[in-house]
Structure 1
Amino acid sequence: MGEFRCPPDDTAWRETNLIGDRPHVVFPRIPVLIQHVDEAPVLATPNETMLYNADQRYVRELRNQAGDNCVYIELHHESLALLAEEGAGLIDSSYRLVASHAPADHRTYLLQHLLIRHLKAPDPDPLLAEETAATLVLSALRDRPASARRRRGSTKAAHTALAEAAKTELASAPARLTLSELARRLHSSAFHLARVFRVETGFSLHGFRQTLRLRAGLERLSSHAGDLSTLALELGFSSHSHFSERFRNEFGVSPSELGNERHVRALLEATARG
């Protein structure tokens, strides 16, 4: 498990990249466009887990001035077979990952966040870390998304393109964007857009945007210690209390608790237990 950063001036943005000789499960921290060779491009956001089989080739496109920033877990080849036996629905009978990405629920995102912080602490517990990593990967790969169900190729491509266009708008749209305005921008009906988006991403449109804001807030807690009001306003919340309420609803704890390094291990153990 580790952290990966690619600054915007790196040559990797202009090249075809190779993931390496092991499967990877990746948790983006900021939006970046990822396209596996011979597949449709995906806006990788903190709301998705990105999946790579061994030797996967892909390209990336800049979507954030910070470049690329993510957490990743490398898997041994035999791990996929063991995970499949434990019920991981995103692994097929030949022990390959069947999708390039999947929705990341609130527990999965919080678990990887706490785990990487625990590993960076002065005295991490290796047994706790390895056991939590196994729980995390199984959680990320447990369910095959509804978008993976068989549909005609043209319908699948159209739905994927619509959802990806909506994700791009939501990742950069003002807080007051309405469903009718978003549908108009994307040349769709509001009903069709809302239905397709939920099937393709696992989120409602409002839920996707709010979750992005809350996960961005989670990653920025350490840089805004003692100044959560400013962070709340920067993220589009009306006040400190509005942000704290939504944050607790999403993660089960307050921003001040998660921002305190002394609480990380206890929170990690509690989250891993489910």
Structure 2
Amino acid sequence: MPITAAICNVQRNQPALLRLFNGPNSLNRVLPMACRPRRRARPLGSSRHLPLPIASTAICTDANLLSDAEAIRKLRKLRHSSTPVRLCNLARLRQHSVGPPSTPSESIGNAHREMNAEPLHDADFDRIVFASEHLTVGQFRARPDHPRFANSGPATGYLIVFPRTVVGIQHEGCEPFVSSPPTANFYNRDQRYSRRRISSEGDRCDWFSPSQALLRDVLSELGTSPASADDAVFKLSHAPCPARVYLAQRRFVQSCVDSSPPDVLGAEEFASNLALHFLDPRYCSETPSRRRRQRGQHRRRSLERVEAAKDLLSRHYMENWSLSEIADQLDCSGPHLCRIFRASCGLRMHAFREQVRLRCALERLADFSRDFSSLAVDLGFSSHSHFTFAFRRAFGCTPSALLGSRGRSSFPIVSRAR
């Protein structure tokens, strides 16, 4: 059976969820809802057969007739036209084509080098779980032994990222920081960055990519806006993530993974509230006074110690180390470490470690079923009751109540920070 692939590009920051499909009459399973034709699709083979209501370009090719190189040549011509072109899923196409298959990394890597194009949501790392005109949601997974782990390419859009493992991140031209579950990371469009292995699990995170139009509306609501379209929306690389915000986004992503995604309105409302929360100047803004305060309070050595402490607490969260034991490992005094840690992170080291433990508990609830006592001890809590109390205080419900609510399609809406 011939296998048909769609190479489809939607306007910048309006990515579509693309999938391979079989047969000539399966167009409705490939194009997003807004792009579906009103009549039955004609046999594929020419882009003029594809009525696209929004500005986009689609090329459909038969895998048995058109090679990767030929597709790239055609796409290169379109790349210089007024409508941008995005290359997607050639690696997955090759896995199902006749002849010896190539690896996903080879196909994607060769395609990117041939096109000399800006990076895309990479099939090697990204799994898109929801897509609409103004929002794309996905899961990022990078094994520590992957050849591109240290540098997987610049960000393809504006990203709000919720880490699920501990990894070192450094934005180009900025100081490195430890990305861990108690933080949220921010990437502007085309942001270049590198990562450093800390956890044996590599880099696992969930990400939300709002469109530029949605972000401009959010900034307008907050009474500010970038001077131009190329200005950075996010002024900080990362910020503390409240427990209830973390739980809300986990429920949202899980509902998409469980094949029960919310409707477009609910999803974009959720993303808008997320952006409002993290872009609110009262919560996360780099004003001149803040920069002066940071220069006076957090010298380079102090910041390095804070990041080292976050690294230590994130990797060894199950250990009940004392303050002196942690300070000795960082070659500083306990009181000094407490002061600079709270000034930088906004919470005490004990609270930071507890947040890491509770987010790890979310990952492992299903594995321990109802045996929460064993889970509590494994995470470093003194008892079942201590674990349940901390869990309810952070997430607003007990572990058993959260397990009982799984499978529901509803998810909490993040309220704007006050």
TM-score by length of 1: 0.88
Native 8 Å contact 1:32 1:45 kept in 2: yes
* 1:60-139 map, 5 Å: 60-87=195-222, 94-126=231-263, 127-139=265-277
Native 8 Å contact 1:24 1:73 kept in 2: yes
3-state secondary structure, aligned to 1:17: coil
Distance 1:245-1:88 versus aligned 2 partners, 3 A rule: farther
The corresponding residue for 2:299 is 156
Range with greater deviation from structure 2 (257-266 or 103-112): 257-266
* 1:124-273 map, 5 Å: 124-126=261-263, 127-142=265-280, 143-144=283-284, 148-150=290-292, 151-152=294-295, 155-173=298-316, 175-262=319-406, 264-266=408-410, 268-269=411-412, 271-272=413-414
Matched, 1:24 2:159: yes
Structure 1 segments unaligned to the other structure (5+ residues) = none
Deviations 1:7-65 (A, max 9, x none): 12211224362111x11110001101111122111110001111111111111111111
Write the distance in 2 (CA, Å) between the matches of 1:58 and 1:88: 30
Q: 1:230 deviation in Å?
A: 2.1
Write the distance in 2 (CA, Å) between the matches of 1:212 and 1:131: 28
Structure with greater helix share of residues: 1
Write the distance in 2 (CA, Å) between the matches of 1:104 and 1:128: 21
Native 8 Å contact 2:361 2:379 kept in 1: yes
**Which amino acid in structure 1 is aligned with residue 358 of structure 2?**
L
Native 8 Å contact 2:188 2:232 kept in 1: no
**Which amino acid in structure 1 is aligned with residue 301 of structure 2?**
A
Q: 1:273 deviation in Å?
A: 5.6
Distance 1:14-1:124 versus aligned 2 partners, 3 A rule: closer
Write the distance in 1 (CA, Å) between the matches of 2:271 and 2:163: 16
Q: 2:176 aligns with which of 41, 51, 59?
A: 41
- The higher-RCO structure (CA 8 Å, 6+ apart) is 1
Larger Rg: 2
Q: 1:159 deviation in Å?
A: 2.7
**Which amino acid in structure 1 is aligned with residue 327 of structure 2?**
A
Write the distance in 2 (CA, Å) between the matches of 1:52 and 1:95: 9
Native 8 Å contact 1:23 1:75 kept in 2: yes
Write the distance in 1 (CA, Å) between the matches of 2:223 and 2:393: 27
Matched, 1:55 2:55: no
Range with greater deviation from structure 2 (1-10 or 130-139): 130-139
Matched, 1:8 2:152: no
**Which amino acid in structure 2 is aligned with residue 116 of structure 1?**
V
Runs (4+) of structure 1 exceeding 3 A deviation are 91-95, 145-149, 151-156, 261-266, 271-274
**Which amino acid in structure 1 is aligned with residue 314 of structure 2?**
A
3-state secondary structure, aligned to 1:59: strand
Number of corresponding residues: 270
3-state secondary structure, aligned to 1:199: helix
Distance 1:261-1:7 versus aligned 2 partners, 3 A rule: farther
Write the distance in 1 (CA, Å) between the matches of 2:268 and 2:190: 24
**Which amino acid in structure 1 is aligned with residue 198 of structure 2?**
R
Native 8 Å contact 1:145 1:202 kept in 2: no
3-state secondary structure, aligned to 2:149: helix
